[in-house]
Amino acid sequence: MYEFFLADSLEKVFADTRPRPMLDCEIKSLQGARFAFQLVYHAQPFSDCDWMQRFTVSVSGAPGKVRIRELGLVPSDLPALDQRDCGYLRTAPGLYPDVLLPYDGYIRPIPGQWRSLFIDFVVDADARGLYDLTVTLEPEATSRLGNGQLVQRRAGVDVCKLNLCMDVVTAKLPKQTLLVTQWFHADCLANYYHCEVFSEHYWQILDSFITFAAQEAGMNMLLTPIFTPPLDTRSGGERTTVQLVGINREGDRYTFDWKHLRRWCALCKKAGIEHLEMAHLFTQWGALFTPKIVATVDGMEEKIFGWHVSATDPRYRTFLEQFIPSLRTVLEQEGFGSDRIRFHISDEPNLDQLSDYLKAKAQVVDLLDGCIVMDALSNFEFYADKVVEHPVCASDHIKPFLDNNVANLWVYYCVAQGVKVPNRFFSMPSSRNRIMGILMYLYNIEGFLHWGYNFYNSQYSVEAIDPYRVTDCRLAFPSGDAFIVYPGKDYAPLSSLRNEVQVHGFEDMQCLMLLEELTSRDFVDALLHEHLSYRLSFDRYPLDACYLLQVRNRCLEEIKKHL
């Protein structure tokens, strides 16, 4: 016996567990919004099912161009850390649904396994009213085996049709105002695809992954390797050089070649990236050293800064005095003025490193006058003492920032945020990923940062890894922390279930903002809490996907009423 049914986009379809079917087949959407659902399929073991039987899948009636992808399983040796709560789906090593693979035209149910197709589309800008969607599964009359043998369709296997009804509200999804950056690791792309940095193949790969970031991952800000970012690198080690700026040194004088940076800026503008963040000016976790910077000295390439040069070295100050003003001028010329760039001192400093952070900051702060300087951190003291005026706060340490009404607050999470707060690990329910949109709306968050758009290295970048085989950076971080896209064939990134769900969360935020424009903030606040006995916070929120789906539908109902 074959079984086919629809499930919502928040369901994670594990091979060994029957997923929850879609509860409501009448859904609402805005013009220009994304809608996604899953087609779940299964063949009963030890039955009369023919495991060679294939089905073609088609979707009709959708108010948008339909895309069908296969939800693939990937391995996880480390799904979760010991520090965790009860809000995980499972924590045992195994195969987890995540990568969205190209659909090759048919499905073949495997006896005893649950699988799914991920089906989505962007609602047409001129769509309005009711649409009846039909998913049709048609058994192939014959299937050809690898050896050329033809297998005939078995009697009794019929066409299956599954239906949805969509009501498109006559209002456009507003433009995303949330600033979003997920760190772009250019070196990982060069390593994975075995291409020379700055070759035409390399630029083609960058173009593809930058375009996907802007158009498919909700990113409007991009980490820019003016020099190789000093991130997740072991002390004394280094990552593949991807420095965009050519540097020539003669004594204490520096000249710069900006051609690669200008080309990078052009790719970003073409893709729709509106903001750039510069690579950190000092090493991670303490700001004790300078980043790796290479230059031509007496005709030879030389590593002029790195682990061998302290953060406070006068030679680095001399370099920065010439580099930063020239950099700012070039960025301005390329359309990225002071309001469209961000600088970093050092990533994730703690209180024990406060003194060193201040010394590093003193090297450059006057050169960054008029620019926004932001860093990821957990300690409120950095903001209270005006050490960091634009904090990017860890979600599990955000309460004092909120209690003190910090303006223009950003939020981030990573490996350490695995208890109570949202995250996007393989092992967590998708609702725990998507809820961030509602929470960021509710607490007026300006920006979201994540360190892993495409980190395909082991911890500390000791070696490159294959993200289809190693999803936890060699037992360092829970699977799902280090990257949200996979490197596909022909230099094309492949999305993940987590990426799709996260973007839906960003759109939740946009829908709530539209409703606020039509009503009031108090009205939207009441809608978000109308069936809750507690106030939503970053460490307390519904884990049930139904809450998120109901909030989206309720929001659209109210938008329709108030237009």
Q: For 414, phi and psi rounded to 5 degrees?
A: -155, -145
Token readout for 448 is: 């979201």
Write down the mean pLDDT value for the chain. Answer: 96
pLDDT of residue 233: 98
Number of domains in the chain: 1
The stretch 152-166 carries a mean pLDDT of 82
Which of 156-160, 212-216, 480-484 comes out lowest in average pLDDT?
156-160
CA angle 513, 515, 518 (to 5 degrees): 115
pLDDT of residue 131: 98
Sequence letter at residue 530: E
Distance CA 9, CA 22 (A): 9
Q: Does residue 111 sit within a domain?
A: yes
- The alpha carbon of 50 is separated from its chain's Cα centroid by a whole number of angstroms, namely 39
Q: Does residue 51 sit within a domain?
A: yes
pLDDT tens, residue by residue, 251-288: 999 999 999 999 999 999 999 999 999 999 999 999 99
Percentage of the chain surpassing pLDDT 70? 96
DSSP 8-state code for residue 292: P
Instruction: Specify the pairing of strand 221-224 against strand 275-278.
Output: parallel
Distance CA 13, CA 7 (A): 9
Q: Does residue 33 sit within a domain?
A: yes
Handedness of CA 492, 496, 498, 504 (dihedral sign): positive
**Cβ–Cβ < 8 Å for 132, 59:** no
Count other C-beta atoms under 10 Å from residue 310's C-beta. 17
Q: Which of 178, 78, 134 is nearest to 505 (CA)?
A: 178
Token readout for 306 is: 């790195």
Q: Does residue 118 sit within a domain?
A: yes
pLDDT of residue 141: 82
**Cβ–Cβ < 8 Å for 247, 261:** no
Q: Which of 34, 21, 16 is nearest to 501 (CA)?
A: 34
Q: Does residue 481 sit within a domain?
A: no
Distance CA 381, CA 352 (A): 12
Instruction: Specify the pairing of strand 410-412 against strand 341-343.
Output: unpaired
Answer whether residue 156 shows pLDDT above 90.
no
pTM above 0.95, yes or no: yes
Q: Is 297 strand, coil or helix? A: strand
CA angle 376, 424, 496 (to 5 degrees): 115
Q: Which helix (H) or strand (E) holds 78?
A: none
Q: Which helix (H) or strand (E) holds 392?
A: strand 390-394
pLDDT tens, residue by residue, 450-485: 999 999 999 999 999 999 999 999 999 999 999 999
The stretch 9-20 carries a mean pLDDT of 98
- The alpha carbon of 59 is separated from its chain's Cα centroid by a whole number of angstroms, namely 28
Q: Does residue 147 sit within a domain?
A: yes
CATH number, domain at 145?
A: 2.60.40.10
Distance CA 478, CA 472 (A): 5
The stretch 196-202 carries a mean pLDDT of 98
Q: Does residue 227 sit within a domain?
A: no
Q: Does residue 408 sit within a domain?
A: no
Neighbouring-strand partners of residue 143:
151
pLDDT tens, residue by residue, 545-559: 999 999 999 999 999
Look up tokens 């339909």; give the residue: 66
Token readout for 114 is: 């649950």
**Cβ–Cβ < 8 Å for 283, 230:** yes
pLDDT of residue 235: 96
**Cβ–Cβ < 8 Å for 19, 3:** no
Q: For 514, phi and psi rounded to 5 degrees?
A: -65, -45
Report in angstroms the alpha-carbon separations of 385 from 206, 354, 391, 412.
39, 11, 12, 21
Q: For 4, phi and psi rounded to 5 degrees?
A: -130, 135
Which of 36-50, 117-131, 338-352, 353-367 comes out lowest in average pLDDT?
36-50
pLDDT of residue 48: 63
**Cβ–Cβ < 8 Å for 515, 558:** yes
pLDDT of residue 150: 55
Look up tokens 């986009």; give the residue: 9
Distance CA 228, CA 219 (A): 21
pLDDT of residue 142: 65
Question: 157 is in which domain, residue-wise?
Answer: 2-171
Distance CA 322, CA 10 (A): 50
